[in-house]
Chains A and B, each alone.
Chain A
Amino acid sequence: MNWHVNFRIYRYKQDGTRPHYDTFPIEVKPDEYVLDAVERIWAKHDRSLVFRHACHHAACGACGMRVNGREKLTCITSIESVTTDGGTVTVEPLRNLPVVSDLLVDMASFYSKMEQAQFVSVRAAEPMVDVSTRQPAAHPEPAVRFENCLECGICVSACPISGTDPDYLGPAALAAIERMVKEPRCDVNVSSLLKLADNEHGLWRCHTAFECSEVCPSNVDPAALMMALRRQVLVDKVKRLFGRRSG
Chain B
Amino acid sequence: MNSQSEHDKAYRVSLPRSVVNWFDPRGRRMGMWAFVLNRITGIGLVVYLALHLVVLSLLAVGEESWDAFVRLARSPIILIVDVVLIAGLLIHGLNGIRVSLVGLGFGVRNQKTAFVALMTVALIVLIYAAWRVFSA
A210-B29 in contact (CB<8A): yes
A98-B10 in contact (CB<8A): yes
Q: List chain B residues, Cβ under 8 A from A98.
A: 7-8, 10-12
Smallest distance from the beta carbon of A182 to chain B beta carbons, Å?
13
> B residues 93-121 with Cβ under 8 Å of A?
99, 102-106, 108-109, 111
Residue of B nearest to A207 (CB): B35
For the complex, is A87 an interface residue (Cβ under 8 Å from B)?
no
For the complex, is B34 an interface residue (Cβ under 8 Å from A)?
yes
Q: A: which residues have CB within 8 A of B?
A: 14, 68-70, 95-100, 106, 108-109, 112, 158, 160, 163-164, 166-167, 206-211, 214, 223-224, 227-228, 230-232, 234
For the complex, is B131 an interface residue (Cβ under 8 Å from A)?
no
Smallest distance from the beta carbon of B108 to chain A beta carbons, Å?
5
B111-A14 in contact (CB<8A): no
With A96-B18, A234-B104 given, name 18 new contacts (CB 8 A): A70-B27, A95-B13, A98-B10, A106-B7, A108-B4, A108-B7, A160-B32, A163-B13, A163-B18, A208-B31, A208-B111, A209-B28, A209-B35, A214-B31, A227-B102, A227-B104, A231-B104, A231-B105
Q: What size tier do the contact residues of chain B reach? A: 35 or more
For the complex, is B15 an interface residue (Cβ under 8 Å from A)?
yes
Best-buried of B10, B19, B21, B106 by chain A (most CB within 10 Å)? B21
> B residues 1-31 with Cβ under 8 Å of A?
1, 4-5, 7-13, 15, 17-19, 21-22, 26-31
Q: List chain A residues, Cβ under 8 A from B11.
A: 14, 98-100
Residue of A nearest to B15 (CB): A164
Q: List chain B residues, Cβ under 8 A from A160.
A: 21-22, 32, 35
Sample 13 A-B pairs with CB under 8 A, ordered by A number: A14-B11, A70-B28, A166-B5, A167-B5, A208-B35, A208-B99, A209-B34, A210-B31, A214-B29, A223-B31, A224-B109, A227-B103, A230-B105
B32-A112 in contact (CB<8A): no
Residue of A nearest to B109 (CB): A224
Smallest distance from the beta carbon of A244 to chain B beta carbons, Å?
19
A208-B21 in contact (CB<8A): no
- A-B pairs, top 9 by smallest CB distance, nearest first, are A231-B105, A210-B31, A163-B18, A209-B35, A69-B27, A214-B29, A227-B105, A227-B108, A70-B27
Smallest distance from the beta carbon of B7 to chain A beta carbons, Å?
7
Question: In the complex the two chains form, what is the Cα distance from A163 to B28 in whole Å?
Answer: 16
Smallest distance from the beta carbon of A177 to chain B beta carbons, Å?
15
Smallest distance from the beta carbon of A224 to chain B beta carbons, Å?
5
Smallest distance from the beta carbon of B119 to chain A beta carbons, Å?
15
Question: In the complex the two chains form, what is the Cα distance from A158 to B38 in whole Å?
Answer: 18
A109-B8 in contact (CB<8A): yes
B18-A208 in contact (CB<8A): no
Question: In the complex the two chains form, what is the Cα distance from A175 to B126 in whole Å?
Answer: 38
User: Within the complex, which residue of B1, B26, B31, B34 is in contact with A167, where a contact is CB–CB below 8 Å?
Assistant: B1
